[in-house]
Every structure is written in C-alpha cells, then in structure tokens.
Chain A
Amino acid sequence: MANFTPISAAIGGALIGIAAVLLMLLNGRIAGVTGVFAGLIDPLSTDRGWRATFVLGLIAAPVSAALLGYTIPVPHMPTSFITVAVAGLLVGFGTRLSNGCTSGHGICGIARLSPRSITATAIFMAAAIVVVAVTRHLIGG
C-alpha cells in the first residue's frame, strides 16, 4: 500500500465534515455538490446566490493553496476527450437522477443514516469499482 496516505486523508476528511456541518448550522443546507451545481445552472432555479459562492469557495481553495506555495496537481485525465465527455454526461445525468453524489449521499446522507443514501452510495461505488476493474485489468491489461 505504497500510495496510502492515512494522515492527510483523515485531516482532509475532517475538513470536509466541518464544511458540511457549518453549512447546516449557518444556512440550514445539505452540502451536496450535485444539488449546489444543478441549482446554480438550471434555468428554472431561483436561489443561486449561496450556490454560486459555494462553488467559488471550492475553486478558490486550490488557488489559495498555490499562493501558499503548494504545487497544484494537474489532474490526470484520459487522453480521449470522447471518454471524458461521456463520463461527464453520465455523472451529470446520473447524479441528478439519483439526487446526489459522493458528498450529498456519500457523506451528508450516510451521516443522517438515510437508507436511501446508503443504498445510492453502495451502488455508485460498486458500479465504479466494476468499471475500473474492466478498464484497467480486462481492457487495459
């Protein structure tokens, strides 16, 4: 397990939890990026302000890290833009259909002990594990 980074994972995870709790204590909202993103871009949305600043804060985090001297990793993406676009479409449509993603279902929902969110998380984890097994070991070899 050469790549395992338990300490930074625990610190980072705690920060994610603190952000989720703060958003509920201050604004009474679930910190779900799917809902935030959809409510920001949907033409019918009426409550964009707090969603826009949440997204702004999200993007400002690595920018501030760069200003502090951290190296911002350039995300390692598949070389095929078609794969990237298909994956983006699936993530956008799928998270909207199931009403949540890793943050809304995976963290906020499981923390509420919601059977709905526990089910969603188990399914999207399993589906992703199968896809990685196929692309890395069956096709990618």
Chain B
Amino acid sequence: MRALASLVCGFVFGWGLFISGMIRPDKVLGFLDVLAIPSGNWDPSLAVVMAAALAVTFAGYALARRRTPVFESANQWPTQTAIDRSLVGGSVLFGVGWGLVGLCPGPAIENLASLSPGVVIFVIAMAVGTIGHDFWYARSVPAEQALVQAADG
C-alpha cells in the first residue's frame, strides 16, 4: 500500500509540474531571467507555482503534524537544522546547474517520458553526480556521522 500511495503522489506531483508548465526548461529559465523584467518578457509563473504549492503544503503539514501516517508508524520529519558549508556549497552548485539548462531533479526525471536524448544525458549525469557525492562522502566522513545525515528532501 505504501508503494501504491507514493505512485499516486508521484502522479499528482507530475501533473502539477505538467499543468504549471514547470516541466518545460524554457519556462523555468523565463522566470530565472530577471534581466528580462525591463523589456516585459519576464515570466513570473514559477513564483505563483511556489506560492500555491507552499500555501497548500503549509496547511496540510499543520494537519499532518497532529496525525500518524496511514501506512507508517511515524512521520519522518527532517532533523537537520545546520546552515553549514555543505548546505551553502551544494546549493550554489545546484543553482549553477539549474541555471545552465533549466532542469531541476523533478522535471528532469518527468521529462524522461519524452525520450529526448538531451534529457536522458542530463538524468544519467545527475545520477553520476549523486552517486559520486555519496562515495566521496562515505570516504571523507566517519561512518557513524554519515548515518546522522537524514534527508531534507
């Protein structure tokens, strides 16, 4: 049932990205291109997507905080709070990659449906970067400390 529940969630999430246009890298870049504001060609849609998603998630999480999940024994809220070099450095690297192509992980994976060679290359590179990080991390950090790393998302 957990697998079926997350299938539905992924599906709804994917429809959200599709309807909002956020599956399209050119539309995302149209938001990130703030120098287009004076010429009137800036596209603020991504800000509206985030505002709507945040409003729903904020309200829904308030409800979720008071409940036990249906198919699990407890909610797994992220535990990390540190604003450290990993957070800052990782965010910079991610932002640079995002700005180069206009794809972040969700839309990148969803766009695999198009079978576009560029997207396939992007997702393979993303996988290499992810696994590369984990190997580098496992070598540089003591094992017990590595276990503390709980996912924010």
Contacts and interface: CB of A to CB of B under 8 A. Distances in A.
How many chain B residues sit at the interface, stated as a range, is 35 or more
26 contacts: A1-B44, A10-B48, A15-B15, A16-B13, A24-B64, A25-B63, A27-B5, A28-B72, A30-B78, A59-B112, A60-B113, A74-B114, A75-B119, A78-B118, A81-B121, A86-B97, A90-B93, A94-B129, A95-B104, A99-B80, A107-B50, A108-B153, A126-B95, A127-B98, A132-B99, A136-B35
Given A50-B2, A109-B153, 10 more contacts: A1-B40, A3-B41, A12-B19, A14-B53, A25-B64, A38-B134, A56-B7, A97-B86, A123-B91, A126-B95
A97 B61 contact: no
Contacts of B10: 19, 53-58, 60-61
Interface string B50-87: 11111111111101100111111111111011110011
Q: Which of B81, B90, B118, B133 has the most CB of A within 10 A?
A: B90
Nearest to B118: A77
Interface string B23-55: 111110110111100001111111011111111
A38 B61 CA distance: 24
Interface of B: 2-27, 29-30, 32-35, 40-46, 48-61, 63-64, 67-78, 80-83, 86-106, 108-114, 116-119, 121-134, 137, 149, 151-153
- Listed from nearest, the 6 A-B pairs whose CB atoms lie closest are A104-B153, A32-B153, A12-B20, A92-B129, A127-B95, A57-B10
B94 A90 contact: yes
A120 B87 contact: yes
- Is the contact region of chain B dominated by helix, strand, or loop, or is it mixed? helix
Contacts, number: 518
